Structure 1
Amino acid sequence: MSTPDTPLPPYRIEVSAKAEYVAAQSRPEDEHYVFAYHVTIRNAGSQPAQLLSRHWVITDGNGKVQEVHGQGVIGEQPLLAPGESFGYTSGCVMETPVGTMHGSYQMVAGDGHRFDAAIAPFMLAMPHVLH
């Protein structure tokens, strides 16, 4: 938290993510587990920042890794003014009922500075699989 005496850092993006199991689209008998994840991206810096691309690392319960690279998120490259947030929902498919995701967003600030915004690991889990 900054106080009135402490200026905001110029480049600071906060990312929160939460996943949920999508039973209606999953077929456990075929090792097909679908998860939706809800992401909120908040510009906590003093510079406007635009999300250019994404890099996700999805690891299933067997240790199999899928990497996803792409432009923007859900077809958008949101520009966030200081204090603004952008939320979206997307999804992934795994062969196991438990896994993790993490990654980064590649950003460009209003002054042209490019930087990565880290996405901390979060759990993907079918209900009642973990205790």
Structure 2
Amino acid sequence: MEIYILYYIYYMFQQKTKGIKISVKTIYNGTIYRGYLPYYAFSYFITIENKSEKTVQLLERFWTIFDSLNNTEYIEGEGVIGQTPIITPNGVYNYKSNCFLLSSIGSMSGKYKMIDTNSSNEFFVKIPTFQLTTTPTLN
């Protein structure tokens, strides 16, 4: 008999850069197996709010993913979840993605490359570093 225990632990992180506010909520979804290796499954929910007076478009993403076993993964690519959203002033864009770690504790950090659609000026927006953990921990 197999028993699956799912934990739903929520954490919220926020940061504002050049009028673009990034909020991140994380959830631990439980452990899954790929072959013989257990992976800790996390979901993260990103909210991008355009608090500026300019219309912007998200062009690229850059992630650094760490775990407590000293594994580091770098991810970069066009847009997010296959989209390059345009966000008008006071507009909001939300998306969800997932991360799988070999350890029960990790973190993610990164940035988005964006462009002001009127001036064509490109700029980076920092994504706040957020923790991925199966249980609350204190430093």
Give the TM-score range, shorter chain.
0.7 to 0.9
Letter in 2 for 1:63: N
Q: Which has the higher strand share?
A: 2
Question: RMSD between aligned alpha carbons?
Answer: 1.8
What do residues 98-118 of structure 1 show as CA deviations (whole Å, max 9, x unaligned)? 000110000001210100010
Could you list the runs of 5+ residues in structure 2 that have no partner in the other structure? 1-17
Distance across 1 between alignment mates of 2:19 and 2:128: 14
Corresponding residue to 1:69 among 69, 76, 101: 76
Give every structure 1 segment of 4 or more consecutive aligned residues whose post-TM-superposition deviation is greater than 2 Å: none
Corresponding residue to 2:131 among 113, 123, 131: 123
State the match for 2:106 in structure 1.
99
Identical pairs, percent: 31
How far off its partner does 1:45 sit?
1.1
Letter in 2 for 1:96: S
TM-score in terms of structure 2 length: 0.79
TM-score in terms of structure 1 length: 0.84
Distance across 2 between alignment mates of 1:60 and 1:114: 31
Letter in 1 for 2:123: F
What do residues 35-83 of structure 1 show as CA deviations (whole Å, max 9, x unaligned)? 1000000111111000001001111012221111011111111000011
Matched, 1:59 2:66: yes
Letter in 1 for 2:24: A
Could you list the runs of 5+ residues in structure 1 that have no partner in the other structure? 1-10
Count the aligned residue pairs: 119
State the match for 1:26 in structure 2.
32
